[in-house]
C-alpha cells in the first residue's frame, strides 16, 4: 500500500484538529504530514501520533510535493490557495463553501456519490454539515422510493461556527450561572445563544432564506444528482456544543412503510438506527458527539399526505459533517486510484 | 362592572403563579381570591396585590360560592375536581389535557374561536401551549387562504414541564460549569437536557408520535373548527427556560405572498411581527419571555410547492401558552355575559 504526502490547511481550527484526530485513528497512510495555517499560528506545536509538528504559514509553495491537501480553513484561504495547490500537484479536498456549487468541482459524500470523483479536476468539495447527515440518511430512501420533497428544520450545534462559538456559549453559560450578565459578541452570534435558540445560521440572502438554508437546497440536489428534489429548510442554532439534529419530513413517489424504511436504513452505509420509542430510545446530539455514524430515529409515517415520512436525524457536525467526510473522500480516491 | 369570586387551583405551581401575576397586572375584577393546591402546600403564603393569602387544600367544598375556578394543577386534580366545581356553581377554565378533546368542552383561544364559549356547559379547556401560539398566528392566514397542511417542528422550553424541569436544567448546567457530572433525574427528562435537545415531549403513543404531537394535530382542528386541516408535528425539547419556538411550514388553498401575510398578521389580534432580516430581526425565545404576544418572523414563500409558506413562531409558553390565555378566556366570558 502506498502512502501519501498530505497537508492540513487550517490545522489549528476546530475542524482541522478533528481531521488530525481522524487521520490518526483511521491510520491514514501518510509519508509526510504538513500542518498549515495563517501567519498568526506559525510555530504552534501540535502532536500527531506522539510526534510534535510545527505549524507553518500557508503559502503557494507550501503545496509543492504534496499529493493531498485537506482544507479546513476560512473561505478566503480556500479561495486564495485552492486551485494554486492543485496547480502544484496536490489533490485538494476543501471543507469550505467556496467551490461547492462550481460545476467543475465534485461535491462528495462517499456513501452517496463516490462515482462523481471520477470527473475531478484536482479539487473536490466537502459539503455543508447539515446537508451531509441529511443525504446519508435520505439517499437510500431516495433510491428505493424517489424523494420528491423535503421539509427540514435544523437544531444546529454552535461548533459549526468554530472554536470561538464554543467559547461564547461556554462563557455566556458561566456568566449566567455566576449571576453575571452574559456578554454577547456580535461577531459570532448576534444574540445570546445560552438558553436561547437563534433562527439564523450564516448570512441572510435577498430571498429571505439564509445561506445555510440555500446550501441545504442546492447541495442536496447536486449530491443526490437529482434537480427535481425540492428542499424547504429552516436552519436554527441551539445551545448545544456538538452534533446537529434535524426534523425531516419527506414526500416520496412510492409509498414506504416504517418497516421498509427500517430495512433500508439497516443496510445503509454510515447509518445507525436508534428507534425504540417504547424504551425512550432515539438519537440525541449529546450521544452522537464523537461518533462516526449518522443516527436516525423517530421514524413515523406522515399520514397528512399519501406517501409521507417523518425522521429525526442526528450526527456529529465536526466528524461526519466535516472532518470524517473529508478524510473518507481522500480514502475513497485512494481506493479508486484517483490520487 | 361586576367583580367575581375566583379560585386558582394549583396556585403554587409555575402556571398557577403566572395566573396570579396576570390577574394582578390586568386588574381582573375580583371580589374574592382563593388559592388552592394539594395538601402538601397548605399554609404556604402567596402575595397578591400586596396582600398575603394562605394556600388552602383543594376539596369539593372549596368551590362553593365561587364563580370562576382557574385550574393550573396536574391532570389528576382536574379529573377529580373539574366537574365537581362546575356542579357547585363555578365556571371552570382548565389548563390540563384532561378535557380538551371532550365534545362537551369548548377548547378556546379567544383570538380564534370565542364564539365556541356560547355552548359551554361550565367547563372550558385551555389548549396546549404549542398549539395556542401556532393557531394565534395561523388562524388569520387560514381565514384568508384556507390552510390545508401544516408541518411543524417545535423547539420547546423546559418550563412547559413545570418548576422541577427548570431546576433540572439549572442544576445540570451548574454541574457542568463546575466540572461535575450532571445528574439526570429520569422522572423529569429521561436524558440530560443541558447542552442537548430531546426529541420527545410527553409520552409516546402506539402510533410512534408523542402525546404532545397528537395534541397539536387534534387541538388545531378543534380550535380552528376545520377537520380538514392536516398537521404533521415533531416536538422537541431544547435547553431554554421560557418560550416555545416553532418552525412552521404551511400549504394553503389560495396563494399568499409574503407581503399579504404581513398585511394580514399586522391586523391579527395577539400577533406581533418581527421580521426584518436585513437588520437580523426575528423572534427569539429569550426576548419573547414575559411578553403577551405571539411573535412571527422569518416569513418566506416556500417555493417547493405552489402555495407554501415558512414561518417562525415564538411565544411565552407560560403566558399566552397557559396563564394569559386562561385569564383571557375568563375575561371573554365576562364580556359575553357567560359568567
Q: Give the confidence band of B186 by pLDDT, cuts at 50, 70, 90.
A: confident
- CA closest to A150 among chain B residues: B304
Q: Read off the pLDDT of residues A182-223 as tens digits, 9 standing for 90 and up.
A: 999 877 999 999 999 999 999 999 999 999 999 999 999 999
Residues B25 and B100 in one domain: yes
How far the first Cα of chain B sits from its last, in Å, is 13
Catalytic site positions of A: 129, 244
Q: How far is A241 from chain B (nearest CA, A)?
A: 7
8 Å CB contact of A232 and B310: yes
Provide the whole-model pTM.
0.97
Confirm or reject contact between A234 and chain B (CB < 8 A).
yes
Nearest chain B alpha carbon to A243: B196
- The verdict on B244 and B276 lying in the same domain is yes
DSSP bridge pairs for A70: A8, A93
The per-residue pLDDT of chain B, averaged, comes to 97
pLDDT at residue B316 is higher than 80: yes
CATH number at residue A160: 3.30.360.10
Q: At what angle do helices A129-145 and A211-224 cross, to 10 degrees?
A: 40
Share of chain B above pLDDT 90, in %: 97
Query: Same structural domain for residues A120 and A138?
Result: no
b (16+ CB within 10 A) / e for B291-326: bbbbbbbbbbbbebbebbbbbbbbbbbbbbbbbbbb
Q: Note whether A300 contacts B209, CB cutoff 8 Å.
A: yes
Kindly state whether B74 is in contact with chain A, defined as any CB-CB distance less than 8 angstroms.
Answer: no
Under a CB-based contact definition with an 8 Å cutoff, are residues A71 and A100 in contact?
no
Residue pair B246/B155 in contact by the 8 Å Cβ criterion: yes
The residue segments making up the domain with residue A66 are 4-126+322-335
Is residue A44 within a helix (H) or strand (E), and if so which, with residue range?
A: none
Strand locations in chain A, DSSP E?
A: 4-9, 30-37, 45-48, 51-54, 56-57, 68-71, 91-94, 123-125, 147-155, 230-234, 244-252, 271-273, 294-302, 308-315
Look up residue A125 and give its three cell numbers.
468539495
Per-residue pLDDT, B1: 63
Q: Which helix (H) or strand (E) holds B139?
A: helix B129-145
Range with the lowest mean pLDDT among A258-267, B129-138, B158-167, B306-315? B158-167
Q: Is B241 on the interface with A (CB under 8 A)?
A: yes
A334, containing H or E segment: helix A324-335
A290 at interface of B, judged by CB pairs closer than 8 A? no
Pair (A117, A261) in one structural domain: no
A61 touches chain B (CB under 8 A): no
A214, A292: one domain: yes
Q: What cell was used for B224?
A: 380552528
- Per-residue model confidence as pLDDT tens digits over A152-162: 999 999 999 88
Domain identity same for B58 and B163: no
* Cβ neighbours of A302 in B, within 8 Å: 151, 232
Please name the member of A199, A230, A239 whose beta carbon is closest to the beta carbon of B304: A230
Closest CA of chain B from A212, distance in Å = 14
Residues (pLDDT < 50) of chain A are none
Smallest Cα–Cα separation from B117: which of B305, B312, B328? Answer: B328
Is residue A212 within 8 A of residue A271, CB to CB? The reply is no
Residue A43, φ and ψ in degrees, nearest 5: 95, -15
Pair (A118, A217) in one structural domain: no
Spell out which residues of chain A touch residue B281, defining contact as CB-CB under 8 Å: none
Domain count, chain A: 2
Q: Which helix (H) or strand (E) holds B331?
A: helix B324-335
Q: Which of A178-192, B131-145, B168-182 has the lowest mean pLDDT?
A: A178-192
Q: Residue A328 sits in a domain of what CATH number?
A: 3.40.50.720
Instruction: Give the model's pLDDT for residue B185.
Output: 80
Residue B293 shares a structural domain with residue B174: yes
Q: Is the pLDDT of residue B187 over 90?
A: no
Query: What confidence tens digit (pLDDT) does each residue in A120-144 have?
Result: 999 999 999 999 999 999 999 999 9
Min Cα distance B220 → chain A (Å) is 14
Judgement on whether residues A217 and A271 belong to the same structural domain of the protein: yes
Which residues 17-46 of B have a C-beta within 8 angstroms of A?
none
Same domain, B135 and B279: yes
* Angle value at C-alpha A315, between A112 and B208, nearest 5 degrees: 95
Give CA–CA dist B291/B311, Å, rounded.
19
Same domain, B85 and B161: no
Do A104 and A180 share a domain, yes or no?
A: no
Report ipTM for this prediction. Answer: 0.96
Amino acid at each position: 500500500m502506498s502512502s501519501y504526502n498530505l497537508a492540513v490547511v487550517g490545522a489549528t481550527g476546530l475542524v482541522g484538529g478533528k481531521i488530525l484526530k481522524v487521520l490518526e485513528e483511521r491510520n491514514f497512510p501518510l509519508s509526510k504530514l504538513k500542518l498549515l495555517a495563517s501567519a498568526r499560528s506559525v510555530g504552534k506545536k501540535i502532536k500527531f501520533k506522539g510526534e510534535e509538528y510545527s505549524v507553518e504559514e500557508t503559502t503557494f509553495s507550501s503545496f509543492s510535493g504534496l499529493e493531498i491537501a485537506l482544507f479546513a480553513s476560512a473561505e478566503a484561504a480556500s479561495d486564495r490557495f485552492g486551485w494554486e495547490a492543485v496547480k502544484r500537484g496536490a489533490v485538494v479536498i476543501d471543507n469550505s463553501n467556496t467551490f461547492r456549487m462550481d460545476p467543475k468541482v465534485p461535491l462528495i459524500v462517499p456513501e452517496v456519490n463516490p462515482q462523481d470523483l471520477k470527473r475531478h479536476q484536482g479539487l473536490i468539495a466537502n459539503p455543508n454539515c447539515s446537508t451531509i447527515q441529511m443525504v446519508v440518511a435520505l439517499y437510500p430512501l431516495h433510491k428505493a422510493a424517489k424523494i420528491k420533497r423535503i421539509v427540514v428544520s435544523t437544531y444546529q450545534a454552535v461548533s459549526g461556527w468554530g472554536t470561538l462559538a464554543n467559547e461564547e456559549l461556554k462563557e455566556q453559560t458561566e456568566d449566567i450561572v455566576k449571576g453575571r450578565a452574559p456578554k454577547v459578541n456580535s461577531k459570532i452570534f448576534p444574540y445570546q445563544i445560552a438558553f436561547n435558540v437563534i433562527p439564523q445560521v450564516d448570512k441572510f440572502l435577498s430571498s429571505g432564506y439564509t445561506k445555510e438554508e440555500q446550501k441545504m437546497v442546492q447541495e442536496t440536489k447536486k449530491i443526490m444528482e437529482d434537480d427535481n428534489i425540492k428542499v424547504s429548510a429552516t436552519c436554527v442554532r441551539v445551545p448545544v456544543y456538538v452534533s446537529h439534529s434535524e426534523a425531516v419530513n419527506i414526500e416520496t413517489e412510492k409509498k414506504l412503510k416504517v418497516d421498509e424504511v427500517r430495512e433500508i436504513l439497516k443496510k445503509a452505509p454510515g447509518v445507525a438506527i436508534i428507534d425504540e420509542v417504547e424504551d425512550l430510545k432515539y438519537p440525541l446530539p449529546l450521544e452522537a458527539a464523537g461518533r462516526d455514524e449518522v443516527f436516525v430515529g423517530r421514524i413515523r409515517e406522515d399520514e397528512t399526505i399519501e406517501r409521507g415520512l417523518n425522521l429525526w436525524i442526528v450526527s456529529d457536525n465536526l466528524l461526519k459533517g466535516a472532518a470524517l467526510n473529508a478524510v473518507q473522500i481522500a480514502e475513497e480516491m485512494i481506493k479508486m486510484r484517483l490520487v
